[in-house]
Chains A and B, each alone.
Chain A
Amino acid sequence: MEILMAIVSGLLFMAATYLMLSKSLLRIIIGTGLLSHGAHLLILTMGGLKKGAAPLLGEEASSYVDPLPQALILTAIVISFGVTSFLLVLAYRAYQELGSDDMDQLRGNDHNE
């Protein structure tokens, strides 16, 4: 199972990298979203995917899944959400002001480098 999940997150990383290397600002932001999905999945996988009850003591099971990676992922989800929404608004404002979302056109020229 872990091997499969490692491959899936590897694919997510690959797609995210490819998107981040593109010209369109929106595709870059989609790439970052995909990258955070991949990272979250990877944290969960690396925490071990052994069967066990959900980390709720009310279950009264003999074994639970690891609660620590879950806490870490929860934090990461919220932070990546904050960053993604900031980036989105930034892209929106950049388009409004500069009239382009093509990264090649947003390149600085020699005068304002």
Chain B
Amino acid sequence: MTLLHAAIISPFLLAILIPFLYKYFRSVHTGWFVLILPIVLFVYFLGFIGETVQSTVNWIPSLGINFTVYVDGLSLLFALLITGIGSLVVLYSIYYLSKEKEKLNHFYVYLLMFMGAMLGVVLSDNVIVLYTFWEFTSLSSFLLIGYWYHREKSRYGALKSMMITVFGGLSMLGGFVLLYLMTGTFSIREMIEAVPGIMTHQLFIPALVLVLLGAFTKSAQFPFYIWLPDAMEAPTPVSAYLHSATMVKAGIYLVARFSPVFAMTAEWFWLVSIFGLITLFWGSINAVKQTDLKAILAFSTVSQLGLIMSLLGLGSAALHYDSLDDNFYTIATVAAIFHLINHATFKGSLFMVAGIVDHETGTRDIRKLGGLMSFMPITFTIAVIGAFSMAGLPPFNGFLSKEMFFTGMINVTKMDIFNMETWSLLFPVLAWIASIFTFLYSMVLVFKTFTGPVQLEKLERKPHEAPLGMLISPIILGSLVVIFGFFPNLLSYTLIEPAVESIMPSLLPAGKNFEVHITFWHGFTPELMMTIGVIALGAIGYLTLGKWRKVYDLFPKKLALNKFYDASLSGMERHSNTFTRFYMTGFIRDYLAYIFVFLIVITGGTMVIKGGFSFTLDGTAEIGIYEAVLAFAMVLGTFTILFSKSRLTAIIALGSVGYSLALFFVLFRAPDLALTQLVIETVSVALFLLCFYFLPSFKKREKKLSFRLVNFLISFGVGLVVTLVAISANSNRVSETISSFFIENSYTEAGGKNMVNVILVDFRGFDTLFEITVLTIAALGIYAMVKLRMAKGEEG
């Protein structure tokens, strides 16, 4: 147990204390107690810059599952994001959530649980531990989305995100298990070392697809993005933290982390970059039509995650070129990491802005908002910085990563692997169109909210500037946007370079570093022309938005993925209900029929397939005249029961079958059996007659029972199978009977001459003991049934 392990566990431990702190310190906002921890952790993790640390605590060593913590550039980057944004979000939530009205203990327990889980995800080296923390993030996200659980939309959003992310999580677990089967280890480090040997394994591609499913569902990639817009029902600090900066990047982390394992395959390149690109495109187009601030931000998050994902996919192309010096594909990975940081900063601040607007005006609907610039100058400034950075405008950090993104996309056209010649132009074109829409919705976000006419009559409260405490976090994030914009190399050597190194470790010769020097001005390149085009077309699009916005209505609502999700969910419920009702009829006859048919099919089928039926007359006894007559009598009695019109006849016929059986026992030299059978048959028949007497409506019964062909076929099948199995078993005796032992030892060992009785009470006395118990229980049960009566009207 090192300090590092304690750091991951600490949020969970603090979560245990929260209810007590909430209960006994009601005058202090619980968030203040929470705030300390992420700050301490952030400072602690800052100390790891430039280091690689690994340490293990045994959990289930016999299964190879250990709590191994591995800190390298990539994990450290995420850990800093989680704790850094975490601190700011906690600070923001202190002012956002009311001490009096909200259940703060719930909120902070969930939030801390999430923070610990997220740290566990990014710092674990063992995939099973990673999976455990991964599901913890799904769970805590579910709890946080459903925080206002009395609202139906919150519950719907929470359930939806749970269903989709858990589906992905389980797929991912499947992928991990496949990886374990191939490599024999749960450790990511050791998997990476084993990769050259398993590249052509037949499970390699299934593992790749399953792991990607986990990443795509968590990071809201197409078509799994649908949970993210509905997750906006969560309190705004949660949306800012989980659904923009951290949890949705867990999928990005997974893709980056498993790049050294999978990235050499063409499938990885295609799946990651194509799905990322589609998500980027689709998310940006959909964001423009939203009218709710948080919905715009949600679709924008989807789109930006797609951007990062596609860059990670393109970055994997670098592995196909050996030389590092002129390998211009590494730029895509650098851009992905850089944009990941940028997105966390500007999206976090934008969510907080949306929260402030909501908090101070009572609505997030941009149709009701407008002209807030003069009421909230600080918020407006932050929004402009965030949105312009998101749109990719200079001098903010979004501009730099967008330029690098374009560079990566243009590089694709020069690629000479995977038959890229025909399709390569699609990449920069799609990326460029998506950027225009990104510019559009960024402008909608700022200008529809803060400029134009004020509509005071539509607002619930008179708008005014937010309290200072609420502004601190967005101000810090906004400043970071500007600082990273002007001094990008603050990040490039400390964080980006080690992160890229851990995504592509095989590319790096010993003692060399990646060139990640990010220059602010790179000359008149095609990328700059693309950006100018984006701004020009985006500006025209924004000014004419009212005219062409109706285009969105053309898109058929039935094809929306949400409709598909809802329909498939309710369809599954309906169909499984119909299916259950179809076979669970409630009639005992139907269930018996299933059981018998199953018996016939399985037993008979097995015998047929395995060639088990056989027939021989060897060793069988001869048929005597008495036996033949008795057999005839027995069959006659049996059929009398079947065809009897009255139940009295049936009972008497049953008795005759029983007595025939007793006579068989006589013929086959079984005196004890014959005695018992005679007595018991007599008592049984008497009992039957007794019951028969108490069932007074037998007149109704004395009609011919309808002959049912199906019942006949089933019963014929059962009889046939039993007969054939019996004959086959009789024809294939494998070993001698052990009865010679009983015959030899009955007298010498047990002192009895009646072998059957000796077996019953001496050799196999336990059977008899429990048979007596059975009779006792039956007798007591009958007594209880007859004696115990429920009073009238009393429910059982």
Contacts and interface: CB of A to CB of B under 8 A. Distances in A.
A94 B622 CA distance: 48
Interface string A37-79: 1101110111111111111111000001111101101110111
12 contacts: A6-B726, A15-B639, A17-B718, A21-B592, A45-B726, A55-B756, A57-B755, A82-B774, A82-B775, A95-B695, A104-B589, A109-B586
Given A46-B730, A54-B670, A71-B760, A4 B676 contact: no
A14 to B, nearest CB: 3
Given A8-B634, A18-B712, A86-B782, A74 B672 contact: yes
Interface string A79-113: 10111111011111101100001011011110001
B747 interface: yes
Contacts of B718: 13-14, 17
B593 interface: yes
B711 interface: yes
Interface in A1-44: 1-24, 26-27, 29-30, 33-34, 37-38, 40-42, 44
Q: Which 10 A-B pairs have the closest CB atoms?
A: A14-B719, A10-B723, A17-B715, A82-B778, A18-B715, A67-B755, A57-B753, A6-B726, A1-B621, A55-B755
Contact of B714 (A1, A17, A51): A17
B650 interface: yes
Interface stretch (B86-94, B416-424, B738-746): B738-746
Contacts of B759: 67-68, 71
B565 interface: no
Interface of A: 1-24, 26-27, 29-30, 33-34, 37-38, 40-42, 44-58, 64-68, 70-71, 73-75, 77-79, 81-86, 88-93, 95-96, 101, 103-104, 106-109, 113
Task: Bin the interface of chain B by size.
Answer: 35 or more
A83 B680 CA distance: 12
B771 A78 contact: yes
B25 interface: no
Provide the main secondary structure of the chain B interface: helix
B747 A78 contact: no
Contacts of B661: 37, 40-41
B51 to A, nearest CB: 63
Nearest to B746: A57
Interface stretch (B359-367, B438-446, B553-561, B686-694): B686-694
Interface stretch (B53-61, B175-183, B375-383, B623-631): B623-631
A10 B592 contact: no
Residue among A38, A82, A84, A96 with most chain B CB within 10 A: A82
Contacts of A6: 723, 726-727, 730
B782 A78 contact: no
A85 B687 CA distance: 7
Nearest to B712: A18
Interface stretch (B27-35, B318-326, B425-433, B651-659): B651-659
Given A58-B753, A67-B746, A71-B764, 10 more contacts: A4-B627, A6-B726, A49-B621, A55-B669, A56-B755, A74-B676, A77-B673, A85-B683, A85-B684, A93-B786
A33 B705 CA distance: 19
Contact of B774 (A16, A22, A78, A92): A78
B248 to A, nearest CB: 43
Contacts of B634: 8, 12
B647 interface: yes
Contact of B695 (A26, A44, A83, A90): A26
Contact of A7 (B723, B753, B754, B755): B723
Residue among A4, A41, A71, A81 with most chain B CB within 10 A: A71
Contacts of A34: 638, 641, 654, 657
A15 B621 contact: no
A1 B775 CA distance: 34
B664 interface: yes
Interface of B: 586-589, 592-593, 596, 617, 620-624, 627-628, 631, 634-635, 638-639, 641-642, 647, 650-651, 654, 657-658, 661, 664-665, 668-673, 676-677, 680, 683-684, 687-688, 690-692, 694-695, 697, 701, 705, 708, 711-712, 714-716, 718-720, 722-723, 726-727, 729-730, 737-739, 742-743, 746-747, 753-756, 759-760, 764, 767-768, 771, 774-775, 777-779, 781-782, 785-786
A15 B642 contact: yes
A54 B726 contact: no
A89 B393 CA distance: 88
A24 to B, nearest CB: 6
Contact of B688 (A52, A67, A88): A88
Contacts of A13: 715, 718-719, 722-723
Contacts of A3: 617, 620, 727, 730
Contacts of A104: 587, 589
Nearest to B628: A4
Given A56-B753, A74-B676, A75-B771, A48 B683 contact: no
B622 A1 contact: yes
Given A3-B727, A17-B596, A75-B771, A11 B635 contact: yes
Given A8-B634, A46-B730, A73-B673, A21 B711 contact: yes
Given A15-B639, A71-B760, A20 B592 contact: yes
B664 A44 contact: yes
A40 to B, nearest CB: 7
Contact of B589 (A29, A44, A55, A103): A103
